[in-house]
Amino acid sequence: MKEYPQSKINRVKRGQNRATYNVEKINSILDAGFLCYVGYIYDGKPISIPMAYTRRDDKVYIHGSTGNRMLLSILESEETSITVMHLDGLVLARSGLHHSVNYRSVTLFGSLKKVENDTDKTEVLKWIVNQMVPNQWDSLRPMYQKELDRTLVVEFTIETASAKVRDVGVADEPEDYDLDVWAGIVPIKQVAEYPIADEGKPQKMEIPKHILDYYEANK
């Protein structure tokens, strides 16, 4: 199985037993979501903000306004770090110190470049929209050129990465297991509620099948 090489930048130091550098595992965590956190330096200050993303092979794509200071900053520096995390459960222990969470997380390190070609930009935006709700793009009106002109699309190449996964139960002190204190796991998942139509014409329309399919799969 292919793995990212371990180095000072991506090696997990704490909780090494939960670490993986397996490319397939890391990609599966990335593909399970569509929100990432991007780190950058602006005016000498560290900032991290959430962004929608999509992945193709070893590339991650994000987008925003052509005036987006984060995108402009990371393009100027030509590198950044991206994090994705899924919360899977609350781990409630007998001691406050041993409370934890079950999770899947990935940290990516790599280089960036601006996607210049309009055809390529449009294709990436299609991927991002469909990462949110599969098959959504084909139901939309075509983009206006002025919308495309105001949109900055950035390609991030994953050069190295690591993941951490916790998927186990409570880890209390041995002497605490006889205490009359409830302990266990509260599973957490993100769910979709029934779609709500926007005002106007959508209220008189049938909900598209692909949106109902997404609701059924995630309710």
| pTM over 0.85, yes/no | yes
Q: What is the mean pLDDT of residues 43-55?
A: 94
Segment among 13-17, 90-94, 121-125 with least mean pLDDT: 13-17
Residue 91 half-sphere exposure, CB side, CA atoms within 13 Å?
17
The answer on pLDDT for 69 being more than 90 is yes
CA 80 to chain centroid: 15
Higher-confidence position of 1 and 38: 38
**For position 14, what pLDDT does the model report?**
87
8-state DSSP, 176: G
Q: For residue range 10-38, what is the model confidence (pLDDT) as tens digits?
A: 999 888 889 999 999 999 999 999 999 99
Residue 63 contacts residue 153 (beta carbons within 8 Å): yes
Per cent of the chain over pLDDT 70 is 100
Q: What is the spatial distance between Cα 63 and Cα 32, in angstroms, rounded to a whole number?
A: 19
Q: To the nearest whole percent, how much of the chain has pLDDT over 90?
A: 94
pLDDT value at 188 more than 90? yes
Cα separation, 153 vs 71, whole angstroms: 9
Domains of the chain, earliest start first: 16-188 (2.30.110.10), 191-219 (no CATH)
DSSP letters along 70-134, please?
HHHHHHHHTEEEEEEEEEEEEEE-SSGGG-EEEEEEEEEEEEEEE---HHHHHHHHHHHHHHHST
User: H or E element: which one contains 39?
Assistant: strand 35-42
Token output for 45 = 């200050």
